[in-house]
Amino acid sequence: MRQRGRIAAAGAVVAGLAAVLFAPAAMAQSNAGLLTVRAIDGTNKKAVAVTFLWTGDQAGLENLTIREDGEAKKVDKLTDLRKTEKRLGIVAVVDLSGSMADDGALTRAKAGLAKMAAALSPGDQMAIVSYNNQAVVETAFTSDQDQITAALDGMTAPRDGKTAMFDGIRKGVSLFSSRPGLQPNMIVVADGKDDVSKETLESAKASVVGSGAAFFGVEMTHRTGADLASIHSIIDRTGGAVFSGSSRDEVAKAFAGVNTTIRSQFVATYASIADQGSVNFSLAVDNVETQASYVVGVKAEGAATTKVTSAPLAQGPAWMRSAGSVTLAFVLVGLAAGLGVFAIAALASRNESVLSAVLRPYDEDGASAPDKEGAGGLAQTALMQRVVEITEDLAERQGYLEKVEHLLERADLPLRAAEAIFFYVAGVAILGIGGVFGLGLLPGLLITGLAVLVPPAVFKFLAARRGKKFVGQLPDTLSLLSGSLRAGYSLMQGLDAVSQEVTEPMA
């Protein structure tokens, strides 16, 4: 596997190939309406309760169809969520950047939220979080109209305010833990793209997914508009919708649409025959269908009901062409072509030896026959292996080998330290000689200096970035894992689900 990793790394440098796959969401939408599964309570198999959101014609609910593992089930009871004991928890995350002060945008947004607060049913609660340069809790969950009004009246948009939307989302999600009995819903009001958040889109998305909240956006279009790509990427994993507006009537209609959508929720109950394990579930209304899953005996909420089939892959690097020396271009292209030919040849000719090397430790005599240090590297010929061994001996005596090994490990680069040192020195020599003869003494020395300084700097940067990203992903990963376990997943199922939600290096 190490051999394939090194070859893949060389191939990536040569070709710059990438593949992007998108995970399907547990949400269905058509012109008829929006259909999203919010929760499945499988604690009582004689009365499995499915909470879902449906914004289409309610007459279509007469044709509601539920299937378990492809088998149709009779719906015993269908109830409006407002007639159950379940209450709503709504967190409004409001943009207070400088642009919100233009055209009365903030005033219209506050008026829309005030109407939503006034329409809260008994037991429902609302919290408000604002964000510009940082996120601030204006009011925690409450049903007190005076407290909500005071929070809205106190919000202003300073002219120098920037946009920390991802920080605001994370701050809003943190409030749900104080009201675990409420059904979580989040509304983000925005008119621009995030530009100062400490959090990333991935961490904000993970926090919303982990909370089980439905996600809604109100885009203020009086200027450039909100970052709809980021908002939709969250909605694709959690369910929800986006509403837009600029004028007073449009904004009022947008908030009314959010309020109507959040309240268009129903609970269907049916009898299941499943005794244990995971159950594939589908729900259809008026030819609109959505799929989910749940574990018998537990309650799943939000993204825990989603059937995730794939995770997005990171895109590979792309080479930028230089407008400089023709000689330098030829040298770089030659090196790239050589690596590409080597990668293809190695993939075509060394599969059997690589497989044998991987399986050797598990043979009866495997423990006594470990791989040689030089096996499985980029240097395959006897001459190259000998040169690499000499490089390794010299570097080890000088104390560089261990430092380079540590740096490559931190940067997650699939290279042996001795090989990295050898190709680094060889690359500096080739670029230096090519630069001197092709461009002259001073430009050649400059290129040589850059060749000497840039690779170590890049490796250190990659190592630092990877370490920082790993630490930043740790809280969200633990939160997602604990949520999966609480939802009834086994440890291995939880790890599998979390590994598809998070990105590298945590994945």
Q: Does pLDDT of 486 surpass 90? A: no
Q: What is the pTM of this model?
A: 0.56
Cis peptide before 505 (omega within 30 of 0): yes
Q: What value does the mean pLDDT of the chain take?
A: 78
Looking only at the bridges linking them, the beta strands covering 240-245 and 265-270 are unpaired
Q: Sign of the CA dihedral 502, 503, 506, 507? A: positive
Q: What is the H or E stretch that residue 6 is in?
A: helix 2-15
Whole-number Å distance between alpha carbons of 57 and 35: 11
Task: Using the predicted structure, report yes or no on whether residue 128 has a pLDDT greater than 70.
Answer: yes
Question: How far apart, in whole angstroms, are the C-alpha atoms of residue 38 and residue 304?
Answer: 9
Distance CA(14)–CA(303), nearest Å, equals 39
Place of tokens 């700097």: 457
> How far apart, in whole angstroms, are the C-alpha atoms of residue 134 and residue 132?
5
Q: What is the pLDDT of residue 211?
A: 92
Query: What is the model's pLDDT at position 193?
Result: 94
Query: Which residue's entry shows tokens 């701050």?
Result: 171
Per-residue pLDDT, 383: 63
Strands 33-41 and 27-30: antiparallel
- Decide if pLDDT at 141 tops 90: yes
The DSSP element (H or E) to which 481 belongs, if any, is: helix 441-486
Tokens 């990536």 locate to 12
Beta strand 65-68 pairing with 278-285: antiparallel
- Cα separation values, 386 from 353, 375, 380, 417, Å: 20, 12, 10, 15
Q: Which range scores top for mean pLDDT: 147-156, 336-345, 492-501? A: 147-156
Residue 311 dihedral angles phi and psi, to the nearest 5°? -120, 150
User: What pLDDT score does 310 carry?
Assistant: 32
Q: Would you say the C-alpha torsion 187, 192, 198, 202 has a positive or negative sign?
A: positive
Instruction: Report the length, in residues, of the chain.
Output: 507
Name the percent of the chain lying above pLDDT 90.
44
Angstrom distance (rounded) from CA 374 to CA 389: 8
DSSP type of residue 186: E
Name 93's Cβ contacts closer than 8 Å, sequence gap at least 6. Answer: 129, 130, 131, 135, 165, 168, 169, 171, 172, 186, 187, 188, 189
Q: What angle do CA 6, 418, 385 make, to 5 degrees?
A: 80
Tokens of 487: 């939802």
Describe the crossing of helices 417-439 and 401-411 by its angle, rounded to 10 degrees: 90
Kindly report, residue by residue over 264-294, the tens digit of the pLDDT.
999 999 999 988 888 999 999 988 999 988 8
On whether the CB atoms of residues 90 and 187 are closer than 8 A, the answer is: yes
At 498 the pLDDT is 73
Quick one: DSSP state of residue 400? -
Query: Quick one: average pLDDT of 171-187?
Result: 95
Least confident segment among 42-51, 325-334, 354-363, 482-491: 354-363
Residue 318: Cβ within 10 Å count: 8
pLDDT value of position 13: 36
The enclosing H or E element of 279 equals: strand 278-285
Mean pLDDT over residues 41-48, rounded? 93
DSSP 110-162: HHHHHHHHHTPPTT-EEEEEEESSSEEEEEEEE--HHHHHHHHHT----TT--
Question: Is residue 435 within 8 Å of 444, Cβ to Cβ?
Answer: yes
pLDDT higher than threshold 60 for residue 316: no
Considering only CA atoms, which of 40, 498, 473 is closest in space to residue 490?
A: 498
pLDDT digits (tens, 9 = 90+) for 204-228: 999 999 999 999 999 999 888 889 9
User: Could you give the CA distance from residue 303 to residue 240 in angstroms, rounded to a whole number?
Assistant: 12
Can you tell me the distance from the alpha carbon of 169 to that of 129, in angstroms, rounded to the nearest whole number? 8
51: pLDDT strictly greater than 70: yes
Structure tokens at 503: 């990105």
Of 2-6, 113-117, 498-502, least confident by mean pLDDT is 2-6
Statement: residue 342 has pLDDT above 80:
no
From the CA atom positions of the chain, what is the Rg in Å?
Answer: 29
pLDDT (tens digit, 9 = 90+) per residue, 146-175? 999 999 999 999 999 999 999 999 999 999
pLDDT value of position 329: 53
Query: Distance (Å, rounded) from C-alpha 450 to C-alpha 246?
Result: 51
- What's the pLDDT score for residue 190? 95
Contact between 87 and 207 (Cβ < 8 Å):
no
Q: Please give the backbone phi and psi of residue 391, each rounded to the nearest 5 degrees, phi first.
A: -60, -40
Question: In 335-487, at which residue ranges do the beta strands (DSSP E only) sit?
Answer: none
| Contact status, residue 208 vs residue 173, Cβ threshold 8 Å | yes
Beta strands in 132-257 (DSSP E): 135-142, 183-190, 214-220, 240-245
pLDDT digit string (tens) for 361-416?
544 444 434 444 444 455 556 666 666 677 767 766 777 777 777 777 777 776 77
Q: What is the pLDDT of residue 349?
A: 41
Structure tokens at 457: 């700097």
Q: Rounded to the nearest 5°, which phi and psi values hold at 37?
A: -80, 120
Give dist(CA 98, CA 450) in Å, integer. 42
